[in-house]
Structure 1
Amino acid sequence: MTDRPRFFDDLTGIAGGAFSAFTGAREELNAIIRNRVSEILASLHVVRREEFDIVREMATQTRISLDAAERRIADLETHIENLKRS
């Protein structure tokens, strides 16, 4: 009778160890895949979404500044023409 509970304890321990090993292997495999995908994307010169969003925001701000500068230049040119006519 005493052998039976020990058998189940041993079986539970083995199952728990196997589960831990599989979990660790899965995490390791995920890390390897993530690293490999990052290497492939880097070799293809593909940018990450965060980098793209930053550059897009910079381009938007530059466009706004350029539009403002063009309006100011147009106003100054109009002012100079008005001064020439006076």
Structure 2
Amino acid sequence: MQTRSPFFDDLSRLMTSAAGVAQGARTEAETAFRGFIERWMAENNFVTREEFEAVREMAVKAREENETLKARLDALEARSAAE
């Protein structure tokens, strides 16, 4: 017949608590590191992915508008040269 040892029960509870504390410390360290990186990037004028994508979309739209306007200008110049 096996009996449970209070020593092993206490050790088990201690290990479970230690694992919880370690997980909490890991989460806190990740949050602190993420905050540090975000502050460092802001101080060094880095942009976020969202900002980059927004400016990229604006550039693509401007390029398309420029191509449309160039085609219209070429057509007007051709018509003016033909007259």
- TM-score interval w.r.t. the shorter chain? 0.7 to 0.9
> How far is 1:58 from its partner?
1.6
Counterparts of 1:14-53 in structure 2, within 5 Å, are: 14-53=14-53
Between the two proteins, the alignment pairs up a number of residues equal to 82
> Considering only CA atoms, is the larger Rg found in Structure 1 or Structure 2?
1
Cα distance in 1 for residues equivalent to 2:45 and 2:56: 17
- Aligned-residue offset at 1:76: 1.6
The match for 1:54 is 54
Give me the whole-angstrom Cα distance separating, in 2, the residues matched to 1:56 and 1:5.
Answer: 66
SS of equivalent residue, structure 1 residue 8: helix
Structure 1 residues without counterparts, runs of 5 or longer: none
1:77 counterpart residue number: 77
The residue number in structure 1 matching 2:9 is 9
1:11-56: CA deviation from partner (whole Å, max 9, x where unpaired): 1001100110011001101100000110010011101223212212
Q: Over aligned residue pairs, what C-alpha RMSD do you find?
A: 1.8
Question: TM-score, normalization: structure 2?
Answer: 0.85
Kindly provide the amino acid, as one letter, of the partner of residue 38 in structure 2: S
Match of 1:63 in 2: 63
Paired-residue identity, %: 34
**TM-score (normalizing by structure 1):** 0.82
Distance between the aligned counterparts of 2:18 and 2:78, measured in 1? 81
